[in-house]
């Protein structure tokens, strides 16, 4: 329609709706009222759509149009497998609910414009809205299962939030057959009446092939796997041995006794430690690989590193931020080899205070490549063979343990929260099947390195904060009061309390809680729930402090091989040390750092989600082979749809409310308990229960439990003595 004509019609319709005599009408009624013929109906629709986009009018759930009483806003659409969705609006605490009838063809991840529907949100009820227009498509590729019909195919997305299959004309199937996992590019987004359409651009593999499951997650999160040829060539060219010219003007600390301490399978060794006693004080050197010497600003390597943001550690592979030739080569502080570093050398008194420090460009040479296991054997097991092998280093390791304990005490005194629960380690066979799921424990050596990295990160952040130079900080906000209230209620089940003042909690209160539960059976569960109740740490250009560490100043300085923010601040530090931080460069960093911080935070979240999804997938596979087996677990969450139970190996499953036998159960919002209507029987957070694995779903990555006492009702073969013991309270 001609633009002038469209605007004229919009004006006529809007004036009609502004009239005091106007009654909200459906499109058919408007057409009749305005004497619009059937052939002109599309023009009327265009005019109404234009007015909706302008925010001048709104449409009710029943399809009636009226002058807008609210405003049109935009945000990101999150889809749901059941057809409805939510729109997250920046600066608005609560999402806007979008009923299925008002989704208007929006897909998960789209940036959309919405009109708020009449009706105010109330208790337990969100503001509702209608998608008016898709401003930007958030999903351009879909990963899923290819199904083939006689004349066409379609891709069933792995991501259930996408909500609908993608139609694939056979000429665009690219050789895919039934059962293939594929990547499909969307060529047409469809609308309310038509499915999206696409073409297969990559075949990941058959659904049953080893590795296809993990690679599907990798592709689903759009994680870049292969490096572009230009980036690999550049890495090859810059990864040359350290020359005399490279070392010129640097502080030479190659004669200092120096070690790296990492896991047995680590190949990118980006931090080394030196420690000497000077009177009663400690001279601690934290030496970090000078990655920026090889990754220049705006180079192909730098652009790719920023795009990736972080290395991703999946259950069966690592997707690095930098090519291996750098991360495992010249940027790795390998024993016996000259390397360039950026060092934070601190003088620390017996109370753990940093009384002096120096940040310098250095040349280092590591004397020994130590493992966490080896250092633990020396310090805790006092293993004679290990102590003899590293005889000359033993006194330094003992000083390290001593200083680490001092630093930890100091942090605890100010209220730093130390989450000391085991991470999950999943052992796979050569075909990618999970053999074992077990806790990955921290030990004395891992804690030493953590303590030294923390103090270096704090020292660097404080130094640059007071220099008032643009910088990237690692910040962590105060927890949401409602989440703390829920945590408080949960721990009350174990006889613990939290003191909260004026809707805020001091980190020291959470620290005290974690100290109280140390070495108790409920420690892993409460630690995890405490962590979940806190906000997510992020990268920012403003130094607002780190709640979890109870630190005023904090940054990430110690891992430039695997985190882009560390790489970025190394550049800033080096320019400052060299006297090149001019007004022009300050302006440059002021402009680019907000985007670097936001992008790095987003990439970090993406990596964490992918890591979580691969772990969940392998946990489902592991429990799939244990259907019918019984385990003891702890109720970790209670919701209106059921109770989640966590096993000691960190596997979590759901007992659906409809699968609770012997009564009709409902969720009591006030106490967060599942309550039997007639018996009054209650299931509460933290309660130990005996559960039997009833079912698993790899597509949904879910595990279903039933109570062991009910297992036989579901046709599960449970030993009679287990049922009897459960019923008489033995468990």
Q: What is the pLDDT of residues 665-691, one digit of tens each?
A: 999 877 778 999 999 999 988 889 999
Poorest-pLDDT segment among 418-427, 513-522, 645-654: 418-427
The answer to whether 131 touches 112, Cβ cutoff 8 Å, is yes
pLDDT band at residue 567 using 50, 70 and 90 as cut-offs:
very high
How many CB atoms are closer than 10 A to CB 554? Answer: 24
pLDDT band at residue 657 using 50, 70 and 90 as cut-offs:
very high
CATH code of the domain in which 65 resides: 1.10.10.10
Q: Note whether 239 and 375 are same-domain residues.
A: yes
The residue range of the domain holding 472 is 229-477+535-614
pLDDT of residue 421: 58
Q: Does 262 map to a domain?
A: yes
Q: What is the mean pLDDT of the chain?
A: 89
Q: Note whether 301 and 370 are same-domain residues.
A: yes
Q: Note whether 233 and 148 are same-domain residues.
A: no
How many CB atoms are closer than 10 A to CB 429? Answer: 10
Q: Note whether 569 and 637 are same-domain residues.
A: no
What does the pLDDT average to over 145-171? 91
DSSP 585-642: HHHHHHHHHHHHHHHHHHHHHHHHHHHHHHHHHHHHHHHHTTTT-EEEEEEEEEETTE
Residue 527 pLDDT > 50, yes or no? Answer: yes
Q: Does 270 map to a domain?
A: yes
What does the pLDDT average to over 45-56? 82
pLDDT of residue 122: 57
Domain boundary among 69, 90, 122: 69
CA dist., res. 706 & res. 129, Å (int)? 38
Residue 291 pLDDT > 70, yes or no? Answer: yes
Q: Note whether 360 and 336 are same-domain residues.
A: yes
Strands 423-428 and 434-440: antiparallel
Q: Note whether 273 and 198 are same-domain residues.
A: no
Q: Which two tokens stand for residue 249?
A: 């003007």
Q: Which two tokens stand for residue 388?
A: 């003899």
Locate tokens 């009679």: which residue?
720
According to DSSP, residue 381 is labeled I
Total structural domains within the chain = 4
Locate tokens 């073969």: which residue?
717
pLDDT tens per residue across span 123-142: 556 788 888 888 888 889 99
Q: Note whether 284 and 319 are same-domain residues.
A: yes
According to DSSP, residue 501 is labeled B
What does the pLDDT average to over 467-471? 97
Q: Note whether 251 and 359 are same-domain residues.
A: yes
Alpha helices in 79-173 (DSSP H): none
The values of phi and psi at residue 174, to 5°, are 55, 35
Q: Does 494 map to a domain?
A: no
Residue 729 pLDDT > 50, yes or no? Answer: no
Counting Cα atoms < 13 Å in the Cβ hemisphere of 557 gives 30
Residue 503 pLDDT > 70, yes or no? Answer: no
DSSP 179-248: TEEEEEEEEE---SSS--EEEEEEEEEETTSTTHHHHHHHHHTT---SPPHHHHHHHHHH-PPP-HHHHT
pLDDT of residue 516: 85
pLDDT tens per residue across span 200-219: 999 999 998 988 999 999 99
Residue 726 pLDDT > 60, yes or no? Answer: no
Q: Note whether 61 and 149 are same-domain residues.
A: no
Domain boundary among 29, 48, 69: 69
Question: How much of the chain exceeds pLDDT 70, in percent?
Answer: 95
pLDDT of residue 724: 42
Q: Does 311 map to a domain?
A: yes
Residue 276 pLDDT > 80, yes or no? Answer: yes
Q: Note whether 609 and 631 are same-domain residues.
A: no
Question: At a CB cut-off of 8 Å and minimum separation 6, what does 190 contact?
Answer: 105, 167, 196, 197
Q: Which of 73, 128, 61, 119 is nearest to 97 (CA)?
A: 128
How many CB atoms are closer than 10 A to CB 92? Answer: 12
Q: Does 483 map to a domain?
A: no
What does the pLDDT average to over 614-638? 93
Q: Note whether 184 and 235 are same-domain residues.
A: no
Q: Which of 34, 26, 38, 33 is nearest to 8 (CA)?
A: 34
CA dist., res. 632 & res. 688, Å (int)? 7
pLDDT band at residue 728 using 50, 70 and 90 as cut-offs:
very low
Q: Note whether 601 and 718 are same-domain residues.
A: no
Q: Does 523 map to a domain?
A: no
């Amino acid at each position: 329609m001609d633009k002038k004509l469209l605007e004229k019609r919009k004006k006529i319709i809007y004036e009609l709706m502004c009239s005091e005599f106007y009654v909200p009408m459906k499109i058919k009624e408007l057409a009749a009222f305005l004497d619009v013929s059937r052939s002109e109906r599309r023009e009327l629709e265009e005019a109404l759509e234009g007015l909706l986009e302008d925010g001048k009018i709104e449409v009710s759930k029943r399809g009636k149009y009226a002058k807008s009483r609210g405003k049109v806003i935009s945000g990101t659409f999150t889809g749901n497998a059941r057809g409805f969705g939510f729109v997250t609006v920046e600066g608005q605490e609560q999402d806007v609910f979008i009923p299925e009838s008002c989704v208007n063809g929006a897909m998960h991840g789209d940036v959309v414009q919405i009109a708020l529907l009449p009706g105010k949100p109330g208790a337990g009820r969100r503001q509702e809205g209608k998608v008016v227009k898709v401003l930007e498509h958030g999903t351009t590729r879909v990963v899923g299962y290819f199904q083939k019909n006689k004349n066409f195919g379609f891709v069933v997305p792995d991501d259930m939030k996408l909500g609908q299959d993608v139609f694939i004309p056979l000429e665009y199937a690219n050789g895919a057959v039934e059962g293939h996992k594929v990547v499909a590019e969307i060529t047409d987004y469809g609308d309310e009446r038509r499915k999206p359409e696409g073409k297969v651009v990559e075949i990941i593999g058959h659904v049953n092939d080893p590795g296809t499951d993990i690679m599907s997650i990798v592709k689903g999160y759009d994680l870049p796997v292969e490096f572009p040829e230009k980036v690999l060539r550049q890495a090859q060219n810059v990864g040359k041995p350290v020359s005399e010219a490279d070392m010129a003007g640097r502080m030479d600390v190659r004669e200092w006794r120096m070690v790296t301490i990492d896991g047995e399978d680590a190949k990118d060794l980006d931090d080394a430690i030196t420690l000497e006693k000077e009177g009663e004080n400690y001279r601690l050197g934290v030496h970090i690989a000078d990655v920026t010497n090889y990754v220049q600003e705006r180079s192909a390597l730098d652009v790719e590193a920023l795009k990736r943001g972080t290395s991703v550690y999946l259950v069966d592979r690592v997707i690095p931020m930098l090519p291996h030739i750098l991360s495992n080569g010249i940027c790795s502080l390998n024993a016996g080899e000259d390397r360039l570093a950026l060092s934070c050398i601190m003088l620390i008194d017996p109370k753990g205070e940093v009384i002096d420090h120096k940040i310098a460009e250095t040349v280092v040479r590591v004397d020994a490549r130590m493992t966490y296991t080896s250092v633990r054997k020396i310090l805790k097991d006092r293993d004679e063979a290990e102590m003899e092998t590293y005889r000359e280093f033993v006194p330094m390791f003992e000083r390290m343990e001593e200083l680490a304990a001092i630093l930890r005490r100091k942090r605890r005194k100010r209220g730093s929260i130390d989450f000391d629960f085991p991470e999950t380690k999943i052992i796979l066979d050569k075909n990618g099947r999970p053999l074992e799921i077990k806790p990955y424990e921290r030990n004395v050596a891992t804690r030493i390195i953590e303590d030294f990295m923390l103090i270096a990160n704090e020292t660097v952040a404080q130094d640059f904060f007071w220099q008032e130079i643009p910088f990237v900080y690692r910040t962590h906000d105060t927890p949401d009061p409602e989440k703390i209230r829920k945590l408080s209620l949960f721990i009350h089940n174990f006889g613990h309390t939290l003191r909260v003042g004026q809707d805020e909690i001091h980190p020291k209160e959470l620290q005290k809680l974690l100290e109280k539960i140390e070495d108790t059976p409920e420690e892993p569960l409460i630690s995890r729930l405490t962590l979940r109740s806190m906000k997510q740490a992020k990268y920012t250009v403003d130094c607002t402090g780190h709640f979890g560490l109870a630190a005023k100043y904090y940054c990430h300085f110690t891992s430039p091989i695997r985190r882009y923010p560390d790489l970025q601040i190394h550049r800033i530090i080096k320019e400052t040390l060299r006297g090149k931080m001019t007004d022009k460069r300050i302006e440059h960093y002021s402009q680019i750092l907000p985007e670097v911080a936001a992008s790095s935070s987003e990439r970090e979240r993406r990596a964490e989600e992918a890591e979580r999804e691969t772990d969940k997938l392998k946990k489902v596979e592991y429990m799939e082979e244990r259907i019918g087996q019984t385990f003891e677990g702890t109720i970790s969450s209670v919701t209106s749809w059921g109770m989640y139970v966590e096993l000691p190996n960190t596997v979590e499953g759901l007992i659906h409310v409809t699968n609770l036998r012997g009564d009709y159960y409902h969720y009591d919002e006030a106490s967060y308990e599942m309550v039997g209507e007639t018996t009054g029987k209650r299931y509460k957070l933290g309660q130990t229960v005996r559960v039997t694995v009833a079912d698993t779903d790899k597509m949904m990555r879910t595990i279903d439990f039933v109570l062991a006492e009910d297992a036989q009702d579901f046709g599960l073969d449970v030993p009679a003595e287990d049922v009897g013991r459960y019923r008489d309270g033995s468990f």
